[in-house]
Amino acid sequence: MGILKSQKQYKLWFERVIAIIATINLGLVLFDLSYIYWRDYYLRHIPGIVDIYDPIKGIQPHRETEKYLNTVEQLQKQLRSQNSLRSPQVEAQLEELRRLSTEMINNNPFVLAEKSGTLEKIKNRMRDHLNQESAKQAFTDFWSQEYLLQNGWTEEIIFFNQQIRPLIATNYFRQIGENGKFIDDFWKIDLPFMCIFAVDLAIRTYEIKRRYPFFSWLNAILWRWYDLFLLLPLWRWLRIIPLAIRLDQAELLNFKEIRQQIHLGFVSNFAEELTEIVVVRVINQIQDSIRRGDFVSWFLKRENLRPYIDINNVNEVEAIAAILVQTIIYQVLPKIQPELVAILQYNINGALERAPVYRNLKNFPGVTRMQTQLSEQLATQLTTNLYNALVNSVEDPVSAKLATQLVQRFSQALTGEIQKKHVSLELQSLLVDFFEEVKINYVKRLSQEDFEKIWEQTRHLRTNVESRS
């Protein structure tokens, strides 16, 4: 017992280790998938991540925008050292910035990084700052000695560093491989994890094959089909499926309710379709049987119908009828006798009230009370006599024989009338239409709520059984 417990605990810890590794791997996968989208945020707040991960995605500084920012940096150093705009070196750098600004607008170096919107934002901010309609003219005026002298080069450089530089710095160049796609070396990070998952799958497949020798190796692998997502180099986001299963198996997260809802949805949909198909097919078979005349023939027990197979030498219809008759006579009628007496008494009183002779006698004293007593006694006597007659018809052999003869004669008369062609055809038509209405109104309106109720009852029953065991 202790060995089994230790093995179970070891297996649980192994599951948890693999689940944690899979969680880390999925985190890296999601980071890689979202890196390009969130790169601007990382660049502003966590630039160290950009320095580390840009090479993985084949990202390099764009030469044009990088040259533009370097030229601005050189201009700032020149201004800080000379503290004057009146120098040939500063004028040369301003001329270079005006040329680079025009080239940036014309060439749009942001297009490869899909950041054309960023260039538009830069142009709009520069237009608004200089109150110009042309972005080129706004840049030309901004990088001029007259404008910087008039507005103060320190304040204008601060504006550029706060509003324009961060936007230009987000641009980048991404290398394209020989396959025509962007370079992406994430596989180098993902490869060690895939090796771990491959070894884990191989071990689990071997254990399944050893436990079930009649399984093929393919069946053993497909037993853990969800682990195959961990080995796919494409669609890595699908690894969330095996991760969720492993976290549940490792008891790190509880997905019991989610599993039950998934099972409920699958089972209810499948059961709904299957039930509708089965019930509709059964009803169709019944309709076909009615159209062939088998149902009427079975009801009439005609001689040309194939022999009826009796499995217990008991006429179930007669047995059921006998049970119902005895239950009604010995159990039901004694309980409803007061109500029957009340109904009879009411009808007797009504009959007396309508009689002309009674209307004349009603004026004599005591006649009304006598009428009430008489109707009560008469109703009680009629009910008692009727009940005794029913009991005697059941218990008395002669009465039972007469009743049997009555039933047989009734059956013969009914059979003779139903055998008439127009009656049987009308019955067949009505029965076929009835079952067609059943299909339309009930079978094809089975709702998922019915199956949810069945599933909920089954789940409670299974929970009770598990708790008892």
In angstroms, the CA 373 to CA 452 distance is 60
- Token output for 465: 């059984």
* pLDDT of 313: 66
* pLDDT of 286: 72
In angstroms, the CA 91 to CA 366 distance is 138
| Whether residue 34 has pLDDT greater than 90 | yes
* Entry field: residues in the chain: 469
Burial of 469 (0-12, 13-18, 19+ CB in 10 A): exposed
Domain annotation covers residue 111: yes
In angstroms, the CA 209 to CA 276 distance is 39
156 shares its domain with 301 = no
pLDDT digits (tens, 9 = 90+) for 42-57: 999 999 999 999 999 9
* Range with lowest mean pLDDT among 297-301, 368-372, 420-424, 431-435: 297-301
| Whether residue 121 has pLDDT greater than 80 | yes
Domain annotation covers residue 98: yes
Domain annotation covers residue 290: no
If you average pLDDT over residues 162-189, what whole number do you get? 91
* pLDDT of 93: 92
Domain annotation covers residue 377: yes
* pLDDT of 296: 58
In angstroms, the CA 110 to CA 65 distance is 9
CB 400 within 8 A of CB 394: yes
Q: Which segment, 163-167, 232-236, 276-280, 347-351, is predicted with the most confidence on average? A: 163-167
* Range with lowest mean pLDDT among 30-39, 111-120, 304-313: 304-313
Residue 450: CB atoms within 10 A of its CB come to 14
Burial of 296 (0-12, 13-18, 19+ CB in 10 A): buried
Model confidence at 386, in pLDDT bands (50, 70, 90)?
Answer: confident
In angstroms, the CA 16 to CA 10 distance is 10
- Smallest Cα–Cα separation from 421: which of 239, 316, 293? 293
In angstroms, the CA 153 to CA 157 distance is 6
* pLDDT of 57: 93
Average pLDDT along the chain: 78
Last residue within a domain, chosen from 121, 155, 171: 171
306 shares its domain with 443 = yes
Residue 415: CB atoms within 10 A of its CB come to 13
| Whether residue 203 has pLDDT greater than 70 | yes
Domain count of the fold of the chain: 2
In angstroms, the CA 136 to CA 105 distance is 7
* Range with lowest mean pLDDT among 135-149, 151-165, 266-280: 266-280
Is the pTM above the cut of 0.85?
no
Distance of CA 46 to the CA centre of its chain: 40
Q: How many helices (H) and strands (E) does the chain have?
A: 21, 2
Domain annotation covers residue 91: yes
More confident residue, 456 or 163: 163
Domain annotation covers residue 163: yes
304 shares its domain with 452 = yes
Model confidence at 469, in pLDDT bands (50, 70, 90)?
Answer: very low
Q: By percentage, how much of the chain surpasses pLDDT 90?
A: 35
Domain annotation covers residue 97: yes
Model confidence at 418, in pLDDT bands (50, 70, 90)?
Answer: low
* pLDDT of 285: 72
| Whether residue 29 has pLDDT greater than 90 | yes
Domain annotation covers residue 244: no
Last residue within a domain, chosen from 143, 171, 199: 171
In angstroms, the CA 454 to CA 440 distance is 22
If you average pLDDT over residues 62-73, what whole number do you get? 94
* Range with lowest mean pLDDT among 32-46, 256-270, 399-413: 256-270
Residue 435: CB atoms within 10 A of its CB come to 17
| Whether residue 137 has pLDDT greater than 70 | yes
* pLDDT of 214: 87
- Smallest Cα–Cα separation from 446: which of 282, 269, 327, 199? 269
Last residue within a domain, chosen from 148, 171, 194: 171
What domain range includes position 82? 62-171
* pLDDT of 301: 52
Q: Report helix, strand or coil for 307.
A: coil
* pLDDT of 465: 44
In angstroms, the CA 312 to CA 332 distance is 30
Alpha helices, DSSP H, located in 293-396: 294-300, 316-327, 333-354, 356-361, 367-395
CB 61 within 8 A of CB 173: yes
In angstroms, the CA 402 to CA 310 distance is 27
- Smallest Cα–Cα separation from 183: which of 46, 53, 44, 24? 53
